Chain A
């Protein structure tokens, strides 16, 4: 075999293995959701069984899925819109009018993501309690906005950097004020980048569990809380938990799958110039 072909083959196999490894838990979860509770915990695990919809029926009876899903949607989209609204002017200023400390500022913003969230749980909880933000959608929107802001700014900054400076300067010479420059030139030109940034932000919000579990109870609870409500202390009711998880991640999975082209571009930003 030609060494180049062999290399390609090895790479393909490794790729499939990695993909399988990442996909397996999801596959197993979906499979478990169609088993009875007894089959779900059987050793050795059963691959062939008679599927049942019993778990889904129970889950539907015990909790209002639509209520949680709607919360997830409103909070994810709301936080993403708010973060983008704040990040666009920030990234514009950093990309086209950099100061001496712009790079440091960007790095510092990103470094805040390295702090464990639990470190600020108490102060944020107290703030939420005193402002009446506990178990409200807007409260969670604010937290998610702040949580994703560094990544959104960073990504938009990178995308804006790819827009030729000349074009914006030409706009300025044509009489464009900063607002018009951003709205009529920069945004249309970096639309694919903004789309992938927004997608990533929505996914991160959808999957966030720490803050939603700690700051909501019922009214504003998103799907992550919905899943958690099915987890039992001793690992009982595996099948029902799996069913709840499956319908919780289904929308974002479909959404992510449909927009994977934008996502890939977003996640590999800066990698290929």
Chain B
């Protein structure tokens, strides 16, 4: 229904700049997730789109119209708050119908629309209750229902699941994804949880200190992180980083030497790197393999068994800690020495400035969207 374009958006609080020029475009019906550590400015950015924070500089454009100075009540967006922010003195039905009441919609029509939203969210039986008589999960649904009823141009979510317990969170995650499909609406979702981001997003925007570090599909960020920050932030457990030195660079592969002397040829494009340059090798725990012989040798310090998989916290001979993901059935125990084989095609290389050196092959799923085909409106 709506496209959103942000053009060098900035936000200052006095002399402190919290959003330092964000350029972004969010397509119609896209599920866009802002993710980043706390204090990165993701909530502020969302509130600026909502109109709850003033925009210091830049343009915010929705459907081709610049709306920097349009008050929130006239932007036609709906927001779900982390605290739910239900109206405590109103029943569930009144909460959900409040926006329609303000818009002057007739009582009959209001009731019908609220009933329709309540049906989608399984709130039919709770319409007469007050918010304080509801559980956390139910309150969450009412907050979402309040947003749905208005048929907004864009849905905004500010960490809506962070007050729920773990199992409810997974359930609501699935429900939100289903809802996005059903409503076919543009949604912007803020979270600090990279699993929520990976599972729900069409596009993830990784923010740090008020800057967009990278924006792309979940698998693009996973397979082609632009820099060390994104590489470390996306993926769980986080990517391992090892210092290395370039020994030879040619078009198609760069050969590096690790601290322990092992050599490895990584398939990346020829860049500015020259023999002798310091680089960082990045390998995800799930891309390491235990083998009879390999590039790395270390001692297992902690074993975390999750049943289906096992994480081995391994100390290399030079003291570097490494997380290795292994099969759930592996009998390895603490203080055992293991040898790790690296797969060069799954390795990432970062230059001394922390920027990724482009990989030779683009991952076949890097452009995959969460929902392959969309209903036409």
Interface residues of B in 31-54 (CB under 8 A from A): 50-52
Judged by DSSP, the binding face of B is loop
Known: A170-B79, A180-B102. A175 touches B73 (CB 8 A): yes
Q: Max chain A CB contacts within 10 Å: which of B72, B82, B103?
A: B72
Compute the total of residue contacts between A and B using a CB distance below 8 Å: 56
Q: Which residues of B contact A174 (CB under 8 A)?
A: 73, 78, 98-99, 102, 146, 150
Interface residues of A in 127-169 (CB under 8 A from B): 164, 166-167, 169
Q: Is the C-beta of A176 less than 8 angstroms from some C-beta in chain B? A: yes
Write the A178-192 contact mask toward B (1 if CB under 8 angstroms, else 0). Answer: 001000010011000
CA distance A185 to B83 in the complex (A): 16
For A175, give its contact among B50, B82, B86, B103 (CB under 8 Å). Answer: B103
CA distance A189 to B131 in the complex (A): 14
Judge whether A173 and B87 touch: CB under 8 Å: no
Judge whether A176 and B102 touch: CB under 8 Å: yes
Q: Is the C-beta of A89 less than 8 angstroms from some C-beta in chain B? A: no
Judge whether B72 and A164 touch: CB under 8 Å: no
For A172, give its contact among B73, B88, B146 (CB under 8 Å). Answer: B73
Known: A170-B81, A173-B79. A189 touches B88 (CB 8 A): yes
Q: Which residues of A contact B88 (CB under 8 A)?
A: 167, 189
For A173, give its contact among B73, B86, B103 (CB under 8 Å). Answer: B73
Q: Which residues of B contact A180 (CB under 8 A)?
A: 102
How many A residues are at the interface, by size bracket?
Answer: 10 to 19
Q: Which residues of A contact B102 (CB under 8 A)?
A: 174-176, 180
Judge whether A173 and B83 touch: CB under 8 Å: no
In the complex, residue of chain B having the shortest beta-carbon distance to the beta carbon of A191: B89
Q: Is the C-beta of A171 less than 8 angstroms from some C-beta in chain B? A: yes
Q: Which residues of A contact B51 (CB under 8 A)?
A: 172
Q: Which residues of A contact B81 (CB under 8 A)?
A: 166, 169-170
Q: Max chain B CB contacts within 10 Å: which of A166, A170, A173?
A: A173
Contacts A/B (CB < 8 Å), 23 sampled = A166-B83, A167-B86, A167-B88, A170-B85, A170-B86, A171-B87, A171-B98, A172-B52, A172-B71, A172-B72, A173-B50, A173-B72, A173-B77, A174-B73, A174-B78, A174-B99, A175-B74, A175-B102, A175-B103, A176-B102, A177-B73, A185-B87, A188-B89
B residues contacting A by CB (< 8 A) are: 50-52, 71-74, 77-79, 81-83, 85-89, 98-99, 102-103, 146, 150
A residues contacting B by CB (< 8 A) are: 164, 166-167, 169-177, 180, 185, 188-189
Q: A169-B85, A174-B102, A176-B102 are in contact. List 9 more A-B contacts (CB 8 A).
A: A164-B85, A166-B81, A166-B82, A166-B83, A172-B52, A172-B72, A173-B72, A173-B78, A174-B150
Which 7 residue pairs are nearest across A and B when measured between Cβ atoms? A166-B85, A174-B99, A170-B85, A175-B102, A173-B79, A172-B72, A175-B73
